[in-house]
Chains A and B, each alone.
Chain A
Amino acid sequence: MTTTLPPVSTDLALQMQSVRKTYQVGDDEVVALDDATLRVASDEIVALVGPSGSGKTTLCSIAGGILSATSGSVVVAGNDISSYSAKQLTEFRRESVGFVFQSVNLVPFLTARENLLVVDELGPRTGAKGKARADQLLEELGLSDRANNLPGQLSGGQKQRVAIGRALMNEPSLVLFDEPTSALDSKLGDQVVHLIREEMKSRGTAAIIVTHDDRITHYADRTVHIVDGRIEA
């Protein structure tokens, strides 16, 4: 096993140790992730790079509590989620991690502001506090004047910024980006990754950016390569 360790930090956003994920396909066992060990510091941005089917999305899903590891331990912001039940994982995702998906996936009938507030409504509502946070995020993301627009009225870049805002609504310890620039042209993609870096660094929030585009890795603090389910140096 080879891995690149982050700078020495006592405060880790993610600590994956010897994580293995397998699937049963008929009589065969398919290994999606094999003995993966990864540590991400609390304010670190890690680019996870690898070809299609290499296991990067699986790793990201396990880190975000969407999938459970077959074996190994996963600790996010000090919480060992390895043995969490489905209900606990749902709560964990709601409160501790943020997701930005490849195809944006905003709720089409909600305005930009309401798409941010969805996260607040799914958990114990914070009311005015949540609304204030949504407004603040929209302002920071340069979307104040688009707050009441539906996703259909926004450009690709604006939608991606709304998705970033949604991921930050619950003040997560770790944000997972699944190929956030794949649907954008190179210029817009560059802007979005720049924005991601700014937002993460200004908040001191850790991020893993799943990508197979090496051009955007220079925005990350560190690049981790994964091939055939194994993390390489």
Chain B
Amino acid sequence: MKFLPYLLKHLRKNWFRTALTVGAMTLCIFLFCTLQSVLAQINTLLDSRSAKRLVTRNSVSLTFPLPQAYQARIAAVPGVERVATSNWFGGFLPVKKEGKADEGSSSTTDWSNFFFNLAVDLEPFLAMYPEYEIPPDQYQALLQDQRGCVIGRKLAQKYGWKIGDTFYLESFIPTHRKADGPFEFVVRAIFDTDPVKYPGTDTTLMLFSRKYLYEATGRTLQAGVYYVEIKDPDDAGRISSAIDALFENSDAQTHTETEKAYAAGFVAMAGNLALLLNGIGLAVTFTILLVVANTMSIAVRERRTEIGVLKTLGFTSRQVMGLVVAESVLIAFIGGALGVFGSQGIMWVMTHAPGLKSLLGTIGLRELNLRPLVASLGLANALFLGFAAGFVPALNAYRARITDMLRTV
């Protein structure tokens, strides 16, 4: 510690260069922490999916619906426990309580009030999702009221909704609108979840009866996707193939996959996201290693005489080497710490800024936190980079002969 003021004075001497190097390290660790946090959240999300649930969708695209008649045929496939139809409603708050629905496009939609709302076959759907824990009396009330909905605890907290409260939603999807105005909903149930048992479960979700949507939109609604619960997770491959084989020669062919694969498809629409993010992180890290190593080499070259003086005064080669490495590590630590704080900051912004929050919500990243492990890895990464960058210049300082270093005077 007694050498710390000495190191800090050197860093302050060339403050602009130090600031740039620290900035480069900050950027590196910021990217590392942010990208790893996103990946970790995605993995948590995917891992929380039950292996017993399959999703059947139109093989062309998610945006193409499936005939309602498929439900019974899927349910008849051996090994299938139950089937629930689901449609993404696409509803927004707040909208007009009365009068005609807005004919405008989605560009007029207030994205700050976006939350996921699904129209589902409530009974089978909730039966296959033990994650959503609903008190029995609320569950019964939900089934008895067609306008009833169940919302997650966080959603209820966000809007201050209680059991019995009424609110209105209007969908940006044209086929999910009705002529006489927005849909009215009554909060009949609020679900909680066990975060230990079911990590990554979204409690900002709203579910309501698909029958309400079906009847209100003129009974023309087709199925968005089918959620299929199977008896044996090991049978997922066979059952998926069997379901898809059923509709092989139909107009609307299906694609059935595990819910995990389905969710992974959502977050990886642009390709292999993990590979992409890790690739970016690695490239940035390597670049910063070169930047810091170059900075330290220049610093040591500029201080040849000083190194000679230190050795003359009695500093051992190892101590001089230690000072050079310590300076590099100190720069890296400051940059790393700033990067970690910056990452925490940007994730707070991402999960609180209305537009961004909604955008991330569409791929399931409603929760985004800098995990202690990621922060620790980020700092460790910074320290390693600092050490690696300072090692070669330090080794040169270690090997340098006093007479050679003083000769440059």
Do A and B associate with each other? no
A residues with a Cβ closer than 8 A to B are none
